[in-house]
Amino acid sequence: MFPAKIKFLRVISRAMQHTTQSRQNEARTANTYDSLSNLAETLIGSEIIKLSGEIKEKIKQGNKIYNFTIGDFDPAIFPIPAELEHEIIEAYKNHFTNYPAAEGNADLREAIASFLQDREKLTYTPAEILVASGGRPLIYGFFRTIADKGDKIIYAVPSWNNNHYTHFVEGIHCEVQASAENHFMPSAKDIQPHLDGAVILALCSPQNPTGTTFQKETLEEICDMVLAENKKRTAGQKKLYVLYDQMYWQLTYGDIKHYDPVLLRPEMKAYTVYVDAISKCFAATGVRVGWAMGPANIINKMKAILSHIGAWAPMAEQKAVAKFLLQKEAIDNYLRHFKSEVSFRLEKIYEGFMQLRKEGLPVNAIAPQAAIYLTIQVNAVGKTTEKGAKLAEQKDVTDYLLNEAGLAVVPFYAFGAPKNSSWYRLSVGTCKKEEINNMLAALSNALKKLK
């Protein structure tokens, strides 16, 4: 071969190698996103956050929106107790701004123990109580403490975030489809088929998103079933533990009573971890003080996990809550007014929905029992709008309610229910009483336009 031709081929070869390397580098750059963790790539985005973005955009454009989506409070309508606010300010004035104890300050855990005994007749020592910045870190810490990859986790749908926490620990999702007939609360019969090998049974009462509660007999049956299941398990086999989320337990209305596993069945104390906080019952979602109570060995493991996350409640707020929880008269006075205001809103909206139903409109609701939520139904799939658009899916109904009535509510499918569920969570935490009639009128007009 001629020297010139050899030289030419070498140049071409180097050029091809350079091009290939460049393409590989470009591919690596393009695929940087694809190299993230499996958890990051597969975690489901929040439907509530997505809906919140749409609401903000519509408000920005000047639209009137009746926002009943957020499980929070408007402080102008529902401020925190004045006594709690005072204690927080005093704590900062006294320079309580350093790190708190990893398990929560001793004075706060002692106050929580006293509060639980006085209010619920539950007996827990400070060593069986863990404090964190609200309920979320505690739930996460519990899931991490109990479940390994591939473990079965039972929870009802709709329910708040259990699907995401199960995904965090790579557990097996054992979903119990709750129904309107049971006020969307799971029964022992619903849970039974999933028991074998399960390590977590996540329960919530009063329930988010439904605002409904366990009846005494139902919870007793579930407790008996858990106890029987654990007796069957051999030494070295994981037990079945109950996560009992009772964030709203002080917010029950009328004749509704709150029940909990340990008081109904004392043997459940070995298998139950409660999660509670000041967040909902004192409209203090931003104050960030929550607690879990349960068997000391589990609480200690949860503490170890959270100590690496740094999810403790702020020092000043802990000092304030420790003092506030002992002010029995202040708490009674606050709850009396707070519950009256929340209950009024829930009842008035419920009555409005029942009137719309009497008028033949495709709505329904479950009578309010607890929390700040009303379970409502808008069953309009298959109907056609004035512009000729068919509401083919429940998502179309949700969009129609927002666009035509200015009504923003959270669909149950955002809480794990089937995509075709026609039920919604309506939250009154930011509801102005004077806007209720206007909202109902706007909904009525929108629904009457459908064919």
Q: Which domain holds residue 391?
A: 47-76+333-448
**Cα–Cα distance, 442 to 337 (Å, whole number):** 29
Q: Are residues 58 and 90 in the same domain?
A: no
In 80-215, alpha helices (H): 82-93, 106-120, 135-146, 162-168, 188-191
**Single-letter amino acid, residue 318:** Q
Q: What is the CA radius of gyration of the chain?
A: 26
Q: Is residue 140 part of a domain?
A: yes
Across the chain, mean pLDDT equals 92
Q: Which of 292, 327, 362 is the last residue of a domain?
A: 327
Task: Please give the structure tokens belonging to residue 323.
Answer: 């003092």
| CATH code: domain of residue 196 | 3.40.640.10
Q: Once rounded to an integer, what is the mean pLDDT over residues 400-426?
A: 94
pLDDT of 33 reads 52
Confidence bin at 43 (pLDDT 50/70/90): confident
**Cα–Cα distance, 393 to 419 (Å, whole number):** 8
Q: How many domains is the chain partitioned into structurally?
A: 2
Q: Is residue 13 part of a domain?
A: no
pLDDT over 90, % of the chain: 85
8 Å CB contact between 154 and 200 = yes
pLDDT of 158 reads 94
Q: Is residue 30 part of a domain?
A: no
Q: Once rounded to an integer, what is the mean pLDDT over residues 318-344?
A: 98
pLDDT of 24 reads 46
Q: Are residues 272 and 349 in the same domain?
A: no
Stretch among 24-38, 44-58, 246-260 having the lowest mean pLDDT: 24-38
Torsion of CA 111, 112, 118, 124, to 10 degrees: -120
Task: Please give the structure tokens belonging to residue 128.
Answer: 């069986």
The per-residue pLDDT for range 55-109, each reduced to its tens digit, is: 888 888 888 999 999 899 999 999 999 999 999 999 999 999 999 999 999 999 9
Supply the angle between the helices 82-93 and 315-324 in degrees, to the nearest 10: 140
Q: Are residues 421 and 394 in the same domain?
A: yes
Confidence bin at 134 (pLDDT 50/70/90): very high
Q: Are residues 342 and 278 in the same domain?
A: no
Stretch among 39-53, 128-142, 193-207, 217-231 having the lowest mean pLDDT: 39-53
Q: Are residues 147 and 263 in the same domain?
A: yes
| Opening angle at CA 66, ends 362 and 395, nearest 5 | 50
pLDDT of 25 reads 52
Task: Please give the structure tokens belonging to residue 383.
Answer: 């109907």
Extract the runs of DSSP E, i.e. beta strands, from 318-372: 363-365
Task: Please give the structure tokens belonging to residue 125.
Answer: 């020592």
| Opening angle at CA 124, ends 258 and 319, nearest 5 | 95
At 378, is the secondary structure helix, strand, or coil?
strand
Burial environment of residue 7 by CB neighbours within 10 A (0 to 12, 13 to 18, 19 or more): exposed
pLDDT of 2 reads 46
pLDDT of 420 reads 93
The per-residue pLDDT for range 162-186, each reduced to its tens digit, is: 999 999 999 999 999 999 999 999 9
**Cα–Cα distance, 441 to 451 (Å, whole number):** 18
pLDDT of 11 reads 43
Q: Which of 303, 327, 351 is the last residue of a domain?
A: 327
Count of C-beta atoms within a 10 Å radius of residue 181? 6
**Cα–Cα distance, 432 to 327 (Å, whole number):** 29
Task: Please check the confidence at residue 238 and state whether its pLDDT lies above 60.
Answer: yes
Task: Please give the structure tokens belonging to residue 225.
Answer: 């079933």
pLDDT of 5 reads 44
Count of C-beta atoms within a 10 Å radius of residue 307? 13
The per-residue pLDDT for range 1-21, each reduced to its tens digit, is: 544 444 444 444 454 444 445
8 Å CB contact between 429 and 78 = yes
**Cα–Cα distance, 215 to 7 (Å, whole number):** 88
The per-residue pLDDT for range 338-383, each reduced to its tens digit, is: 999 999 999 999 999 999 999 999 999 999 999 999 999 999 999 9
Confidence bin at 47 (pLDDT 50/70/90): confident
Element (DSSP H or E) covering residue 198: strand 198-204
Task: Please give the structure tokens belonging to residue 60.
Answer: 């920005």
Q: Are residues 286 and 409 in the same domain?
A: no
Q: Are residues 320 and 346 in the same domain?
A: no
Higher pLDDT, 70 or 191: 191
| Sign of the alpha-carbon torsion through 347, 416, 192, 148 | negative
Q: Is residue 141 part of a domain?
A: yes
